[in-house]
Copies of this chain bind each other. A is one copy, B any other.
Amino acid sequence: MPEQQTNLLAPLLKKLLMWTHLDDSERSAVLALPHMESSVEKGGYIVRDGEKPRNSCLILSGFACRQKLVSDGEMQIMSIHMRGDFVDLQNSMLGTADHSVQALTQMRVANVPIEAVLQLCLEYPKVGLALWYDTLVDAAIFREWIVNVGRRGARKRLAHLLCEFAVRLEQAGLADKCDYVMPMTQAQLADCTGLTPVHINRTLKGLDEENLIVRTKGSVRIPDWHKLAEVGDFQSQYLQPQQERLLNPSHSWMLNQV
């Protein structure tokens, strides 16, 4: 396999190494996954609700979201994804997609056949644990979003969402936590928060007037992180869990492996 292709999967390995330690053979097994690069235009679908995806898709650049339509045609966005996210592991593992994954911007992605992923997990169980772990972090984000749309008013809801973006963008090495380019329109923010575009607009304006954010041409600046986090009731731990049991290879239960 050409060197160039191997490098494509580097963001995936990097993310897995955030969750656990992997030895050389495990690392190269990850990088050796078969994959095919492709690009998706803005608004295009990576998977559609109801399909049976055969690939899982690593995001190399651009942004995507998980979304679902309800009977009256309204949309709910359930999560946002960016470089390094192995999006759609969820759908492809489950067999039939229960939601769509759509490109918010022009994207480059690497498609990995799901069979190869499963094979990898069987041969290298620790890699399997790391991938599992990755989907558990996704689940933690889902839970946080349930709380957000369920029990916070528009102001807090939006503040929380802006904080989550900030931390995740910084985590992915794509932006400064306190100054980033918003990859979404106000209508899409509305679909994230369960509000209407009009009300997002007014709420955004309110946050701006309070100096909690400064909006300038598609980007958001956060003058006082602590204040916005306070308003949004935002704690970042759920995005950056530290699992010492997985991370630290010196623990006894892990020593008697291999």
Interface residue stretch chosen among A32-40, A64-72, A208-216: A64-72
Pick from B93, B122, B128, B136: contact of A243, CB under 8 Å: B93
Task: Determine how many copies of this chain the complex contains.
Answer: 2
CB–CB B118/A245 < 8 A: yes
What chain B residues lie within 8 Å of A241 (beta carbons)?
94-96, 98
CB proximity to B under 8 Å, residues A114-157: 114-115, 118-119, 121-123, 125-126, 128-129, 131-133, 135-140, 142-147, 149-152
* Extra A-B contacts (13), CB below 8 Å, given A76-B146, A118-B253: A76-B150, A78-B147, A90-B139, A93-B132, A93-B136, A95-B246, A98-B237, A115-B245, A121-B129, A128-B132, A132-B135, A135-B135, A146-B149
A238 at the interface (CB under 8 A from B): yes
Scan A233-254; emit 1 where CB is below 8 A from any B CB, else 0. Answer: 1000110011111100000010
CB–CB B137/A142 < 8 A: no
Scan A70-91; emit 1 where CB is below 8 A from any B CB, else 0. Answer: 1100111010000000000010
Query: In the complex, what's the smallest C-beta–C-beta distance from A184 to chain B, in angstroms?
Result: 15
CB–CB B95/A245 < 8 A: yes
What chain B residues lie within 8 Å of A194 (beta carbons)?
149-151
A193 at the interface (CB under 8 A from B): yes
User: Smallest CB-CB separation from A153: which chain B residue?
Assistant: B72
CB–CB B146/A70 < 8 A: no
Interface of A is mostly: helix
A108 at the interface (CB under 8 A from B): no
**Contacts A76-B150, A78-B146 hold; do A133 and B243 have CB atoms under 8 A apart?**
no
CB–CB A242/B68 < 8 A: no
A257 at the interface (CB under 8 A from B): yes
- Give A136 to B126 CA distance when docked, in angstroms: 18
A221 at the interface (CB under 8 A from B): no
- Give A42 to B161 CA distance when docked, in angstroms: 34
User: Smallest CB-CB separation from A127: which chain B residue?
Assistant: B125
